[in-house]
Amino acid sequence: PPRAIIEGRTMRLAWRAAAALGVSGVAVSAAFSHHYGLQQPLARAPLASSASTAAMCEAAAPKAAIISGKKVAGEIKAEIKAATAKLKADHGVTPGLAVVLVGGRTDSTTYVRMKKQMADEVGFHSVDKHFDETVSEAELLGCIDALNKDSTVHAILVQLPLPKHINEHKVVSAVAVEKDVDGFSAQNIGNLCLRGGEPPLAVPCTPAGCIEMIQRSGIDPSGKNAVVIGRSNIVGMPVAALLQSMDATVTVCHSRTKDIASHVRRADIVVAAIGKPEFVKGEWLKPGAVVIDVGINSKADPKAKRGYRLVGDVDFDSAAAVASAITPVPGGVGPMTIIMLMKNTVNLARHSVGLDRLKLRKFPTEKP
């Protein structure tokens, strides 16, 4: 490291420790000079006051690199557009995405509109099936069956939640595995978790987005300790399986885990998906850890235009001072979910003509 850094906080702390232990400051200087290959021993710098030391430490505190989901999603979007154009040119196939929406929930309607817009932008064929809240389960199952048989549709998404009178599991399970764009079918999840064998046809979108962000930031999980906070079927369980398949040593923490902070302190990679605002504190983190914040929560803020602001499951400010890289909220994992849905759609279209899927992992050990 540069001489200025050696003469700064590190040396001051060393001299303070030497004084407390009765060790000569000259010996400390000589040891440091020998370690760093300096020609002359460092002169002892005057001890700073506690206030100036705190200010110096704050100024020297590392600031985490921001892993931008918008940027990564933009890169993947360009790749999907290119893959779609090649699929059309080489095989005459346009990836087709069908979205089934029941009722008029504002959040569901907005999400479906965003998916359709993205599908149009990457050149997909879109099919919209919108039913009234009173639709019968039999009619909905009939729609799924028709889409399963439609050769122009390669991916089917049933927007959840469904009305209470409809069995969600039954409807979602009716989607053919080769068109399961969410990647939640028992077969896809089973293949995701098994060592060796066939890869899943589709990988759950948010976990896949987390892996894309980690890899495209140049981080290889192999040999690292990873802690996943949350064990949901949607995020926690699949992302833990993906990290383990990449040779990370994975610990899954959940609502019954005692002293979660003690587990987080050992982690090189932390994926927070617990649904509690600013739950993970910076003081829990191992210095240099990579933090992927999946959470999105509203927090009251009278200064904000809407009276609240969006925060993640991680206390961003304190974590950013300790981590080497971190995803923001908003603008982190959020933009990745829809773009990974598009990537799954392309992969299912490729599967329909016997092509291999576009790989998720750069550092595979078991599956492509």
CA 340 to CA 295: how far, in whole Å?
Answer: 17
For residue 301, the number of C-alpha atoms closer than 13 Å in the C-beta half-sphere is 11
Helices (H) and strands (E) in the chain, counts: 14, 11
The total of other beta-carbon atoms located within 10 Å of residue 25's CB is 16
Label residues 98-136 b or e (16+ Cβ within 10 Å = b). Answer: bbbbbbeeeebeebbeebbebbeebbbbbbebebeeebe
Catalytically annotated residues: 115, 159, 182
CA 160 to CA 277: how far, in whole Å?
Answer: 23
**H-assigned helices in the chain:** 3-5, 11-21, 25-36, 50-60, 69-91, 106-121, 137-149, 168-173, 186-193, 205-215, 236-245, 260-264, 316-320, 334-352
CA 279 to CA 314: how far, in whole Å?
Answer: 5
When computed from its CA atoms, the radius of gyration of the chain, rounded to whole angstroms, is: 25
CA 182 to CA 235: how far, in whole Å?
Answer: 12
The total of other beta-carbon atoms located within 10 Å of residue 34's CB is 10
CA 88 to CA 93: how far, in whole Å?
Answer: 5
Q: Read off φ and ψ for residue 63, nearest 5 degrees.
A: -110, 125
CA 111 to CA 185: how far, in whole Å?
Answer: 21
